[in-house]
């Protein structure tokens, strides 16, 4: 018997641009990204309805931009506008509508799907692009805080199935990401604030100094100060990108540091029928896991209080009634199933100092939920 040991090696590179007014005629970012592709100028836009406010006249902006840059961009159809939010991942009609348009308009692997939207729209359109022709190039313009500092930067695409978040999905790096800070102006206060939970997460596990910066600037960020928010997004994006390139981008291991606070978050989102924002659920998940770390005697009281204080100053909820349902702990099993391998949960020994554990005590977790309920305001939906 003979064996050929095959090895396939490939490197992915993509730029993440930070700009304002990506569709101003004079803004070259998108034009240059498309030109860098070389072979095709064809584009198909997918746009989150939330971005299309009356003041912005966004679809007209896209049309004007493409017309002005027609030597570099051949936009072959009007943008597909989708509702945004978890609906686009729950209802398979949306992913099908993007695939149908890719088919109908002759979008090939060298052409571009350009998606503008929150994390849910990016995930859905990314999944449609990744699974058409085994992968059409995707340019993301994330339009929420969460998608600019976290979900829009990475290599994952997905939709929900069987009431499970991200059950269908791929690991597919984007062709480019353009973070346009101006898009954030139209966000509701809720979406402005909720994405900041991912910055707290990454600071807690990777960068004590950044945590100090967030602590000092939390009130400013919550009050919609743009330059403070831009700094928060930039640093959070940088830490996420560094982690993705240095670690295990296609998640073959069992350890998922960037999923700190997420086992409970994913379960809570489902238990709350997706009426909680992902960022809100992550904030609650962090509050729960640091409280558990405290209950287990790992985390000092002072650090625990500082962390809850920062989440509160950012205007994030620390608690949701769904924490008390018996189903919460199933979130641990589902989390392990989704990632594969051994259950691996990150807890905190100190700010910037995480520790991995492989089992969670149900009793101590219940005690932590009770402790948190004493402390925390409930999410006001």
Binding site for ligand NAD (CB under 6 A): 48-51, 84-86, 89, 117-121, 123, 143-144, 146-147, 150-151, 154, 156, 165, 183, 186-187, 191, 195, 277-279
Q: For the CB of residue 146, give the shortest distance to ligand NAD in the complex, in Å.
A: 4
Instruction: Return the beta strands (E) in 106-200 as ranges.
Output: 112-117, 137-142, 156-161, 164-171, 176-180
The smaller minimum CB distance to ligand NAD, of residues 191 and 289, is found at 191
What's the rounded Cα separation, in Å, for the pair 132 and 181? 30
- Other C-beta atoms lying within 10 Å of the C-beta of residue 234: 16
Q: For the CB of residue 195, give the shortest distance to ligand NAD in the complex, in Å.
A: 6
What's the rounded Cα separation, in Å, for the pair 248 and 340? 14
What's the rounded Cα separation, in Å, for the pair 43 and 23? 15
Pairing of strands 345-350, 353-357: antiparallel
Q: For the CB of residue 282, give the shortest distance to ligand NAD in the complex, in Å.
A: 8
The smaller minimum CB distance to ligand NAD, of residues 41 and 193, is found at 193
The smaller minimum CB distance to ligand NAD, of residues 114 and 183, is found at 183
Q: For the CB of residue 180, give the shortest distance to ligand NAD in the complex, in Å.
A: 9
The smaller minimum CB distance to ligand NAD, of residues 226 and 305, is found at 226
Q: For the CB of residue 137, give the shortest distance to ligand NAD in the complex, in Å.
A: 17
* Residues forming a β-bridge with 164: 161
As given in the structure block, the two tokens for residue 335 are 């989390």
Report angle CA 106, 107, 111 to the nearest 5 degrees.
Answer: 140
For 107: left if phi > 0, alpha if psi spans -120 to 50, otherwise beta; the answer is beta
The smaller minimum CB distance to ligand NAD, of residues 143 and 217, is found at 143
Q: What residue has token string 């099908």?
A: 96
Closest CA to 184 of 341, 356, 20: 20
Q: For the CB of residue 274, give the shortest distance to ligand NAD in the complex, in Å.
A: 8
* Residues forming a β-bridge with 345: 357
The smaller minimum CB distance to ligand NAD, of residues 189 and 209, is found at 189
Q: For the CB of residue 377, give the shortest distance to ligand NAD in the complex, in Å.
A: 20
Q: For the CB of residue 165, give the shortest distance to ligand NAD in the complex, in Å.
A: 6
Closest CA to 286 of 236, 231, 213, 348: 348
The smaller minimum CB distance to ligand NAD, of residues 31 and 165, is found at 165
For 134: left if phi > 0, alpha if psi spans -120 to 50, otherwise beta; the answer is left
As given in the structure block, the two tokens for residue 72 are 């570099």
The smaller minimum CB distance to ligand NAD, of residues 146 and 287, is found at 146
């Amino acid at each position: 018997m003979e064996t050929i040991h095959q090895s396939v090696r490939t490197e992915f590179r993509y730029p993440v641009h930070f700009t304002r007014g990506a569709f101003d005629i004079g803004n070259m970012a998108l034009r240059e990204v498309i030109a860098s592709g070389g072979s095709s100028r064809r584009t198909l836009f997918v746009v989150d309805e939330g971005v299309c406010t009356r003041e912005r006249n966004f679809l007209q902006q896209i049309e004007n931009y493409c017309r002005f840059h027609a030597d570099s961009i051949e936009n072959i159809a009007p943008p597909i506008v989708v509702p945004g939010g978890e609906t686009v991942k729950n209802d398979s009609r949306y992913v099908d509508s993007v695939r149908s348009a890719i088919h109908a308009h002759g979008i090939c692997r060298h052409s571009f799907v350009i998606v503008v939207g929150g994390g849910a729209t990016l995930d859905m359109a990314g999944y449609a692009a990744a699974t058409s022709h085994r992968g059409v190039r995707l340019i993301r313009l994330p339009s929420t805080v969460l998608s600019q500092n976290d979900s829009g930067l990475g290599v994952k695409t997905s939709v929900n199935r069987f009431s499970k978040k991200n059950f269908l999905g791929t690991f597919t790096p984007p062709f480019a990401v353009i973070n346009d800070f101006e898009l954030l102006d139209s966000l509701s206060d809720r979406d402005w604030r909720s994405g900041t939970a991912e910055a707290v997460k990454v600071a807690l596990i990777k960068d004590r100094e950044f945590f100090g910066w967030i602590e000092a600037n939390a009130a400013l960020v919550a009050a919609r100060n743009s330059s403070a928010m831009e700094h928060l997004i930039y640093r959070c994006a940088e830490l996420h990108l560094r982690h993705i390139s240095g670690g295990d981008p296609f998640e073959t291991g069992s350890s998922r540091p960037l999923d700190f606070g997420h086992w409970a978050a994913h379960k809570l989102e489902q238990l709350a029928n997706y009426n909680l924002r992902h960022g809100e659920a992550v904030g609650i998940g962090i509050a729960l896991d640091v409280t558990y770390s405290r209950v287990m005697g790992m985390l000092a009281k002072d650090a625990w209080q500082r962390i809850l204080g920062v989440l509160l100053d950012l205007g994030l909820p620390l608690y949701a009634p769904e924490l008390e349902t018996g189903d919460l702990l199933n979130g641990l099993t589902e989390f392990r199933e989704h990632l594969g391998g051994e259950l691996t949960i990150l807890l905190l020994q100190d700010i910037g100092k995480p520790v991995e554990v492989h089992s969670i005590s149900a009793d101590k977790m219940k005690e932590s939920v009770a402790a948190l309920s004493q402390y925390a305001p409930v999410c006001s939906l």
